[in-house]
Chain A
């Protein structure tokens, strides 16, 4: 490869960012990986090698087990809610309505807000029981009023219960009989308060998914649908057999983008529920990592949580990157 002036200039421009990323991203990932294998459990660095002891400790702690459950529950409901609402909105907006731009902006706008602001705002909505800023008296919960629930009770963010299949219930006994007894544990349940977090997160990100789908819808040639209609397909069949399959690449992108957000979620739960509460119903690996490292000064253990998070996210993102790259190459 000849080093032309152009190439040299390009290299010169790329060099600083490659160097910075090498040091501050990959270098520090490597450093974190190293720390996760050493004892370091006070402020003073202690680099004595302990192997996988830190990982053993976090995986055997009930808190981290709760975190894993919470993350799975949150990711599943958050992604599903965003895809459903986003697809619905995109289809509604795609009906060539008037002032489409206005609606698009309205639905996309929450995405421009940071999760911290979303968290604070939704906290005021879901738990307005306490006196507000500037000495305003406590307000009844408007959501409860709207849904016809008892306005005095206010359990959106404070219900510490975990919904799970009780081992003594009929379903639980059947599961037990077929050797799936492990499913009847709170570790496989749904922490109720997490669903309130999903509500706030889906409110913020659905508009983004809508825009993705909208661009996907616009890219589908009208002739395809027209042809289906001429063949006598109903609108539902057109959607089911033509539109939806052609939107699959968009869906995959959306799942990846939402998935990596939800695996790393931290700021939203901190603002909404203080990071973990009630109990550990909304605790996340990121919050656990922060507290373990900087509250308890257990840096080795904190680093091992970070590495677990990295691996999980890599498992989601890397195949996607490989897949998109293959597509680009094949085009």
Chain B
């Protein structure tokens, strides 16, 4: 290469570097007269994406000056989305609103460090303080830096974690009724095992499915208040009641499928579906949140029944997807208008029939006749929601800070591989101390 051509290469490469540096500053969005409003969610497929897109379409039609886009980040019940969101919030470049589990996942991660605006004015203007049940209001509110309690997110849907799903044909063929207590469960499970059916299908390749099992057993053993107290320091993790619950948990783990570690929750739920009509399914029951109904629907399986997880009838172990307002959002007016739609009865009745959840807003529940309607399960769940005591789900971010949940999951993971009750109880008690809730 002679000197001239070397020079040309040098000039060209410098030009390329300069050009690439400039393009990012000149490429600002200018989609006509509309202002782009960015909302981040982890809903990318199935009913949840259809429902969320339907609500966005309505907003964009009603508000021609704005254009909301759903920057969805797929995967892992939001774990991928959360990692990226945390980065953006930390760097002062948050989206205008984003999806986050209602409760401590939002509060400890974003509210306490001061990254979110409170939504008190939205709650007042729209009358949400009376429309949302007190249990939900408690979970979405927290003390702000001024020492007063504020509302920080708008719950769009409510899911229930403590649900037991069963194959109806298996139960009638064996003269069994769905278990009401965990003692019942053991009797039923032994009968099923004798017939060569796995009693309980669990898919814990992400450990949370197994953690939900323990969560339900703790609720059954301690009751709503006792379970609530675990997360506020009022219930002693070292108490005999917790020991009893952990022993029950150990016993229940003896009735699950051996390949649980390689299955996801939906693959485990599929064990209730017989391979062909009339064949015996691999498993008779699965304990899973009410999104399992959506999975069964997607596989055209209708032969299933549902009850509250044993011993938890009358208690709604709730989790919700909610949306908040980052302090550094660039289009707060638009974001607030969007949040207003999400919290309204009309908005919730657009989304929830698709998602399989129930509306958090108690005035919702009557979608227009030409829109998608609620399923039988959803109608049943809405009835329960009105009368049940509401408790926050740990595994879905409502009950405790992410680091506490992480410690709990580490302890549960170790226990499932090697069930030793004193070790688990000590680890759970320590986790509460590390979270600075217990002394």
Given A43-B109, A295-B402, A297-B109, is A127 in contact with B262 using a C-beta cutoff of 8 Å?
yes
Determine the interface band of chain A, counting residues with CB < 8 A from chain B.
Answer: 35 or more
Residues of A within 8 A of B416 (CB): 160, 278-279
B299 touches A158 (CB 8 A): no
Q: Select the residue from B6, B13, B83, B417 with max chain A CB neighbours within 10 A.
A: B417
A130 touches B402 (CB 8 A): no
Residues of A within 8 A of B110 (CB): 43
Given A137-B275, A291-B406, is A43 in contact with B262 using a C-beta cutoff of 8 Å?
no
- Among A43, A273, A297, contact of B115 (Cβ-Cβ < 8 Å): A43
Q: Select the residue from B110, B258, B261, B267 with max chain A CB neighbours within 10 A.
A: B261
A298 touches B403 (CB 8 A): yes
Instruction: Specify the chain B residue showing the minimal Cβ separation from A57.
Output: B434
- Interchain CA distance A61-B418 in the complex, whole Å: 16
A129 touches B402 (CB 8 A): no
A297 touches B403 (CB 8 A): yes
Q: How far is the CB of B281 from chain A (nearest CB, A)?
A: 11
- Interchain CA distance A102-B287 in the complex, whole Å: 52
User: Is A263 part of the binding interface, using a Cβ–Cβ cutoff of 8 Å?
Assistant: no
- Interchain CA distance A141-B200 in the complex, whole Å: 22
Interface stretch, picked from B129-137, B201-209, B333-341, is: B201-209
- Among B10, B259, B282, contact of A12 (Cβ-Cβ < 8 Å): B10
Residues of A within 8 A of B402 (CB): 295-297
Q: How far is the CB of B25 from chain A (nearest CB, A)?
A: 19
> Which residues of chain B in 364-421 are interfacial with respect to chain A, using CB atoms and an 8 Å cutoff?
401-403, 405-407, 410, 413-414, 416-418
Residues of A within 8 A of B206 (CB): 274
- Among A16, A42, A44, contact of B17 (Cβ-Cβ < 8 Å): A16
A-B contact pairs, 18 of them (CB 8 A): A13-B13, A44-B113, A44-B114, A127-B259, A129-B262, A154-B259, A157-B262, A158-B258, A158-B259, A160-B417, A274-B262, A277-B262, A279-B418, A280-B414, A281-B417, A295-B406, A297-B402, A298-B406
- Chain A positions within 8 Å of B, measured between CB atoms, are 5, 9, 12-13, 16, 41-45, 61-63, 123, 127, 129-131, 135, 137-138, 153-155, 157-158, 160, 273-274, 276-281, 291-292, 294-298
- Chain B positions within 8 Å of A, measured between CB atoms, are 3, 6, 10, 13, 17, 79, 82-83, 86, 89-90, 108-110, 112-115, 204-207, 258-263, 267, 270, 275, 282, 299, 401-403, 405-407, 410, 413-414, 416-418
